[in-house]
Amino acid sequence: MKARKWALGLLAATMACGSSPGLADIVYRFGQAPLFDGRYGPVAVVQTRINEELAGCGKPATITVDGVFGPGTRNALRALATCPGYVPKLANDADARAGSLTTTYWDALIGGERPSVDQRARTLMLTYENTDYTRMEWNFCQSSPLYNPSAGRNVCFSNDPRSYLTWGPNGATGGGGREVQLVLAMVDRTSPMLIDQAFGIEASAIRRTFQLRDRDAQRSLETYLCGVWADASRREAWRQGFNALGRAPDVRAAYDNLYRSSSLDGGKIATFIQAYSDNGLTPTEADYGFFKDRSAHTSPSLGPIRTAISQALAADRSAPRWRIRQAIALNVRPGSQRADRLGRDVAFYIDGAGDRLSQEELSAWQQRGRLRASDAGLADTRPFTDFSAGPALETGIAQPENLTDAERRACPQAVLDTRRPEGRP
């Protein structure tokens, strides 16, 4: 899909602003809740540089490089702002001296290209998802108490019985969606040594998953991964393998490219953009952050979104942009996790709404972490048209393989017979 240039509504996008002009210079800030950008994002780069510069100024390096922009990073930026090399550069930037990472502070501290709108939108999404490229989780047998036949605990229950493992910031699954296999196969085609180095003797087992079908009569992929999980040493070897693999820049790039595909989040974002375009609107930065977070968490349909926008505009043709996002949030809601989704949505329009939120909206936002789009410098004062979805994915398996008898035996029957524990709804 080629990048769209939405001329219609550009003036409205500029005028319908919900963020104050004073926030336009923010890159990242600690507001009411920390931001999490992962071990390899812009925040971690900033933290590394802060420590270096503090040491050069004769002050202690005070922060851990963990990608969390919280009070520690804010306070370190405040301290650095008093160093002789920074005082004149930040003299006219009160936000920077108070510990926000502004564009002025970024230029003085890092220089070069600033974090993009997509990167900053991703920071908000990552904060909610609270995971990273180096983190993999198995999804078999999450019962409490945990399944352990040797201790007489024979009940196995999996919260998502079609997602056998999840990995990375977008929650790639090794189940029916095959996102994990698609990323790994992409890496294996270009840099096979990365899988060999990360997984060692388990590398061939990783590659075997590329050829196993899911939801076939033999439950091939589920059974195979269950067999790996059932062996505690192999289970941990895979976890450590993903940890090592996620440190490689090529792997992170492949992961991001996969989710930019029109078959995955890229196509979902394009759905929101199309709904805006159909109503004569151009997305703003805050809109894009909303699209990206929604696309990581839900599967949007064009019709309901387009209708919610048109109804909001019918009620007020000059509705500020935050009202448009609010209309989507309140009228296009998932069937489950409704309060959780609403709390995330409010983060993208609370800057404009102020005290005009309902009690339901305010409560959901407070429960979900009190983030704001402006914490990552996303504003309605600037349009955002620089988006193109990646090509569609080929998800078929050209030559599917069958399980061996040993592989079938490795999976305990109780895992395949997963059921809810007594008394669990």
What amino acid occupies position 346?
V
pLDDT at 142: 81
- Tell me the pairing of strands 101-102 and 68-69: unpaired
**Considering all CA atoms of the chain, what is the largest pairwise distance in Å, rounded to the nearest integer?**
72
Per-residue pLDDT at 326: 98
- The percent helix, strand, coil of the chain (3-state, each to 5) is 50, 5, 45
Nearest-5° Cα angle at 255, 258 to 210: 80
**pLDDT, position 10:** 30
* Long-range CB contacts for residues 187-195, cutoff 8 Å, separation at least 24: 187/245, 187/250, 187/251, 187/254, 190/250, 190/254, 191/248, 191/250, 194/245, 194/248, 194/250, 194/251, 195/245
Whole-angstrom distance, CA of residue 268 vs CA of residue 72:
36
- The three-point CA angle 269-272-276 to 5° equals 140
Task: Please name which of 163, 161, 168, 162 lies closest in space to residue 129, comparing C-alpha atoms.
Answer: 168
What integer pLDDT is reported at residue 201 of this predicted model?
Answer: 97
Q: What is the pLDDT of residue 422?
A: 52
- pTM, 2 dp: 0.88
Q: Which two tokens stand for residue 170?
A: 């977008």
For residue 220, report the phi and psi dihedrals to the nearest 5 degrees. -60, -55
CA 58 – CA 394 distance, rounded (Å): 55
Whether the CB-CB separation of 156 and 182 falls below 8 Å is answered with no
Give the count of beta carbons closer than 10 Å to the beta carbon of residue 366.
Answer: 12
> Among residues 286, 362, 374, 372, which one has the least CA distance to residue 323?
286
Q: Please identify every stretch of the chain with a pLDDT value under 70, giving residue numbers as ranges.
A: 1-24, 419-425
